[in-house]
């Protein structure tokens, strides 16, 4: 199965993105939801920003939400020399009071006519603004249904990681619809059409007592309220997707079933992409799941970056049989690759 | 505030409950959902059964679900002398292959004319029968809306702890409606009427990465699909409810707000009951939360049993100002106590 990475990769780098305020620096622009809007391809990227630190202190941005006041970002300072603090993982600081994220993410639009050369909007599209988003918002997926774009995204907060919905028709104005899946839940991909009269979504709860970070599926009458949940598929022991799995692209309708490109990772955080085919009429039934990844980190921008060896997709563009898959690479940049939809489906059905 | 425990307590004991099969013994009958049906008070109890073991082996019942076949209970054997097995907690066996529950629970009806003397149905009302219920079903809450009884209950399985819905109009026939809240979620209490055109429920997700076992609230158009989630209230550090909290009774409408009796526990599993008042029109807003429990384990059947020092309510009966609270005691028996609704509300509002 042929995967053609774009020679222009990475398509968007942190240095292409203006920070949201002068004392911030953009460290990552990645994991973009994807949509066609008019004659453009839109990326709705996760942009992670850091408060500019110095030799002495790490500065960490935290959203402050007080009832009746507008939310605003505050800066916490952590002394680099403090032996009680653990800075090993670049994404977090572990303190005696709890875990803090080193960055805060918002969602930012980038626009392109050709799907390869993107211009980044100067300002955030959606910025965290409520208690469920205190540590930022991340990893959007965009589903177009009848000219309306439904955006699911992850909100991270001390009370948990939840998934919220926002809606737009123009990628300028975004209406927030609140939390649609409560903690801990992420990687929510809404199908592009109703199935047997109901909306459908893949989701990925992370339970504490029993169960792994597995993929589930749910149904909805209105895109806000979700129920009739089914366990869809689980992590596979001793495999590339043994640690966790989660939906990636919006499911793609083919004559053989719904094709989903999902991510899987080992416990050691080596992230690949795999494919699965779901029943057209009862998408909670798996028809075929690939044993091996369809794509693994190998390009330099995938193996080196903010978090090495991560490829993670939140969306794709379909053009007849060509799937143009956009993905975050090394948790730092946006890249893309082309592949054949029928090629993936044949591979799955023959496996 | 006066709490009058019934002199007849415990009202139902394991020995009052016939096992579901001859090689099982009933070890616990507790945590009952409560409803008025015709001239009776119904308890829908969680009945925990154990496969009868001997000196040599612990026998553990596990539901076996194979696609296309009827689910059935299988017996696993664990040698008591095996040094790799941990039997310390009576509820679980910890093995190198994972954690097993020592018992499997089903739901059983008990009926009473006076709310004190109960007759237990000879057979289970709802028995686990699907993959999300492999380790059993537990802790039902019953909400009557227009003559229909909606039962939420917890399903425990290797894929996680989820909450499902069943419906009855006669407490003989029960219709399953599937999973309404995905893992990890339990303690789901549906309000007895719509608020501003939507159904409302308390729920208690348990996230893995961030967040505590806190109480949340959600809205629904149809009782199956739930969304517009809000964090409602959290555990309180250094308090009787520092470890976890969760909804108990169906919320009770008063002129001052929705009164909810909830459980709280320390990290050491000392379970008490507390009270909170929620806004009538916007029940995701807390009006008043009691600092101290309204009831703590003190009677012998509360301090000694399968798990000592647990009181846990799943329902109550309201008769004017009198709240007859039914509760599981020491994870083993059903007990009840009367208290004054206005007394609790005044206590909350004065605190």
pLDDT at A213: 97
Predicted confidence at residue A259, as pLDDT, reads: 98
Q: What is the pLDDT along chain B (351 residues), one digit of tens a residue?
A: 799 999 999 999 999 999 999 999 999 999 999 999 999 999 999 999 999 999 999 999 999 998 888 999 999 999 999 999 999 888 899 999 888 889 999 999 999 999 999 999 999 999 999 999 999 999 999 999 999 999 999 999 999 999 999 999 999 999 999 999 999 999 999 999 999 999 999 999 999 999 999 999 999 999 999 999 999 999 999 999 999 999 999 999 999 999 999 999 999 999 999 999 999 999 999 999 999 999 999 999 999 999 999 999 999 999 999 999 999 999 999 999 999 999 999 999 997
**Under 8 Å between Cβ of B24 and B49:** yes
Residues of A at the B interface, defined by Cβ within 8 angstroms: 99, 131-132, 135, 156-162, 177-185, 203, 205-212, 214, 216, 218-222, 224-231, 234
| Residue in chain B lying closest to A214 (CA) | B159
Using DSSP, state whether B90 is helix, strand or coil.
coil
Strands A92-95 and A72-79, how do they pair? unpaired
For residue A226, give the chain B residue with the closest CA: B225
| Chain A residues touching B156 at Cβ < 8 A | 210
Distance (Å) from the alpha carbon of A226 to chain B's nearest alpha carbon: 4
Contact B210 A162 (CB under 8 A): no
Instruction: Evaluate if residue A106 carries a pLDDT over 90.
Output: yes
Query: How many A-B residue pairs are in contact by the CB < 8 A criterion?
Result: 155
pLDDT higher than 90, residue A321: yes
B224 and A229: CB-CB below 8 Å? no
Nearest to B180 among A178, A207, A227 (CB): A227
Q: Determine whether the interchain pair B211/A183 forms a contact, defined as Cβ–Cβ distance below 8 Å.
A: yes
Q: What is the pLDDT of residue B90?
A: 81
User: How far is the alpha carbon of A290 from chain B, nearest alpha carbon, in Å?
Assistant: 21
Tokens of B117: 């003397």
Tokens of A209: 């007592």
> Cβ–Cβ of B211/A184 closer than 8 Å?
yes
Cβ distance A226 to B225 less than 8 Å, yes or no, reads: yes
Contact B178 A227 (CB under 8 A): yes
Q: Which chain A residues are closer than 8 Å to B230 by Cβ?
A: 179
Q: Do A160 and B222 touch (CB under 8 A)?
A: no
Q: What residues contact A217, with CB distance under 8 A and at least 6 apart?
A: A200, A201, A202, A203, A229, A230, A232, A278, A283, A284
pLDDT band at A91 (very low <50, low <70, confident <90, very high): confident
Cα–Cα dist B108/B124, whole Å: 5
pTM: 0.96
Average pLDDT, chain A: 96
Q: How far is A11 from chain B (nearest CA, A)?
A: 31
Nearest to A211 among B159, B210, B225 (CB): B159
How deeply is A102 buried, as exposed, middle or buried, from its count of CB atoms within 10 A (0-12, 13-18, 19+)? buried
**Cβ distance of B229 and A180 shorter than 8 Å:** yes
- Length, in residues, of chain A: 351
Beta strands in A23-174 (DSSP E): 24-37, 40-51, 57-64, 72-79, 92-95, 98-101, 104-112, 119-120, 136-145, 148-157, 160-168
Q: CB distance B179–A224 less than 8 Å?
A: no
Q: Calculate the alpha carbon distances from A351 to A256, A276, A344, B282 in Å.
A: 14, 11, 11, 53
Q: Closest Cα of chain A to B227: distance in Å?
A: 4
pLDDT tens for residues A183-217?
999 999 999 999 999 999 999 999 999 999 999 99
- CATH top class, domain B4-349: mainly beta
Is the Cβ pair A227, B179 closer than 8 Å?
yes
The verdict on a CB contact (< 8 Å) between B182 and A218 is yes
Determine, for residues A182 and B203 on separate chains, whether the beta-carbon distance falls below 8 Å: yes
Over residues B16-30, the pLDDT tens digits come to: 999 999 999 999 999
> Chain B residue closest to A161 (CA)?
B210
Sign of CA dihedral A187, A188, A192, A195: positive
Q: What DSSP string describes B298-327?
A: -SHHHHSSSSSSBEEEEEEEEETTEEEEEE
Quote the longest CA-to-CA distance of chain A. Answer: 59
Chain B interface, mutation test: which of A101, A207, A234, most B Cβ atoms within 10 Å? A207
Report the pLDDT value the prediction gives residue A99, as an integer from 0 to 100: 84
- Nearest CB neighbour to B207, from listed A131, A161, A225: A161
CA distance B164 to chain A (A): 9
Residues of A in contact with B160 (CB under 8 A): 205, 207, 209-211, 231
Structure tokens at B260: 């909810």
The ipTM value here is: 0.95
| Inter-chain CB proximity A231 and B205 less than 8 Å | no
Dihedral, CA atoms, A338, A343, A348, A350, nearest 10 degrees? -160
Q: Which residue of A has its CA nearest to B100?
A: A210
For chain B, the residues whose C-beta falls within 8 A of a C-beta of chain A are 99, 131-132, 135, 156-162, 177-185, 203, 205-212, 214, 216, 218-222, 224-231, 234
pLDDT level of residue A75 (50, 70, 90 thresholds): very high
């Amino acid at each position: 199965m042929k995967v053609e990475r774009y020679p222009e990769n990475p398509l968007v780098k942190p240095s292409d993105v203006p920070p949201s305020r002068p004392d911030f620096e953009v460290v990552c622009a990645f994991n973009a939801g994807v949509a066609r809007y008019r004659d453009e391809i839109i990326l709705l990227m996760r942009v992670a920003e850091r408060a500019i630190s110095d030799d002495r202190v790490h500065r960490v941005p935290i959203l402050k939400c007080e009832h009746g006041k507008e939310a605003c970002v505050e800066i916490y300072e952590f002394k680099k020399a403090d032996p009680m603090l653990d800075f090993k993982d670049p994404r977090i600081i572990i303190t005696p009071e709890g875990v803090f994220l080193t960055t805060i993410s918002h969602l930012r639009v980038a626009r392109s006519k050709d799907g390869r050369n993107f211009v980044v909007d100067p300002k955030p599209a959606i910025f965290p603004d409520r208690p469920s988003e205190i540590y930022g918002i991340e990893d959007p997926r965009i589903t177009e249904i009848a000219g309306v774009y439904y955006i699911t995204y992850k909100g991270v907060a001390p009370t948990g990681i939840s998934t919220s919905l926002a809606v737009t028709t123009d990628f300028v104005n975004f209406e927030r619809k609140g939390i649609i899946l409560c903690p801990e839940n992420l990687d929510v991909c809404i199908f592009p059409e109703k199935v047997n009269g109901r909306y459908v979504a893949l989701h990925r709860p992370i339970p504490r007592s029993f169960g792994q970070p597995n993929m589930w599926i749910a149904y909805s009458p209105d895109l806000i309220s979700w129920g009739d949940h089914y366990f869809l598929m689980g992590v596979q022991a001793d495999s590339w997707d043994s640690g966790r799995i989660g939906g990636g692209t919006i499911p793609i309708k083919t004559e053989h079933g719904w094709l989903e490109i999902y991510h899987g990772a080992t416990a050691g955080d080596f992230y690949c992409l795999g494919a699965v085919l779901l029943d057209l009429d009862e998408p909670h039934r798996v028809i075929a799941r690939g044993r091996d990844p369809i794509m693994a980190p190998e390009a330099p921008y995938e193996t080196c970056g903010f978090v090495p060896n991560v490829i993670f997709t939140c969306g794709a563009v379909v053009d007849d049989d060509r799937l143009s898959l956009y993905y975050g690479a090394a948790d730092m940049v946006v890249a893309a690759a082309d592949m054949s939809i029928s090629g993936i489906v044949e591979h799955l059905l023959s496996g």
